[in-house]
Homo-oligomer: A and B are copies of this chain.
Amino acid sequence: MQKNNVNSEEYKKLNEARDLIINAMAETMDFYGVTPSTGRLYGTMFFLEKPMTLDEMAKAMGMSKTSMSNTARTLLEKKVVEKVWQKGVRKDLYQAEQDFFKTFAEFFCHGWRREMEVNLKAINKAEPIIKELAESDDEQVREAAQKDLKKLENAKKYYLWLEQLVEAVETGKIYEFIPKPEESE
C-alpha cells in the first residue's frame, strides 16, 4: 500500500484523487453490463502504468485470485483490457486499454452486431411463415399477419441502418462526421 522511498502523504492524496475517478467508472460501467467491482478493477488498471498480474489485482482489490481470474476474463472479453507478454515473466499480465475511442467502438459494435445477427436470423425464420399466413382465407389471421410483416420490414430497415453505423464506427469513418478533438500526446 505504501512505497518505500516516497512521500507517502502525497501518494495517499494522489490515490484518493484517483479513487474519485475509479468510483465514477465503477458506477457508470453498469451500462457496459459489468458489476461495480469489475469496473473498479478496470479503473485501477487504467491508472496503473505497468501491466498487472492476478496476484497484484487480488492484493489491490482485496479479493481472491479466483475472482480476479474471472473478472480479468470478463474485461478481456469486453476488450477493455489486453493480455500482454513480457520476456521472462511467467505470470499472465493484463493491461488496461487507454484509448476510450477504441473501447467504445469495440464494445458497442460487438453488442450491436450480436443484436443484428440474432434478430435477423429469427426474422428470416419467421418471415416465410408469416408471409404464408398473410394469404390466409381467415380475415383476422390475414390482417394480423400483414401487420406483422410490416413490423418485420421496419425492423430490417433499422438493422440495415445499424449495420451502416457499426461499419462507420469500426472503420473510423464516423470521425469524418464527428471529428475527434485532436490528440495531445
Q: How far is the CA of A115 from the CA of B103 in the complex (A)?
A: 14
The binding surface of chain A is classed by DSSP as helix
Identity of the chain B residue whose Cβ is nearest the Cβ of A175 in the assembled complex: B161
Asked whether, in the complex, the Cβ of A168 is within 8 Å of the Cβ of B178, the reply is yes
The answer, yes or no, to whether A2 is at the interface (CB within 8 Å) is no
Copies of this chain held together in the complex: 2
Identity of the chain B residue whose Cβ is nearest the Cβ of A10 in the assembled complex: B141
Asked whether, in the complex, the Cβ of B151 is within 8 Å of the Cβ of A180, the reply is no
Interface residues on A, range: 35 or more
Q: How far is the CA of A47 from the CA of B130 in the complex (A)?
A: 13
Q: How far is the CA of A148 from the CA of B11 in the complex (A)?
A: 13
| Chain B proximity of A146: nearest CB distance (Å) | 11
The answer, yes or no, to whether A67 is at the interface (CB within 8 Å) is no
Chain B residues with CB under 8 Å of A136's CB are 7, 10
| Chain B proximity of A106: nearest CB distance (Å) | 14
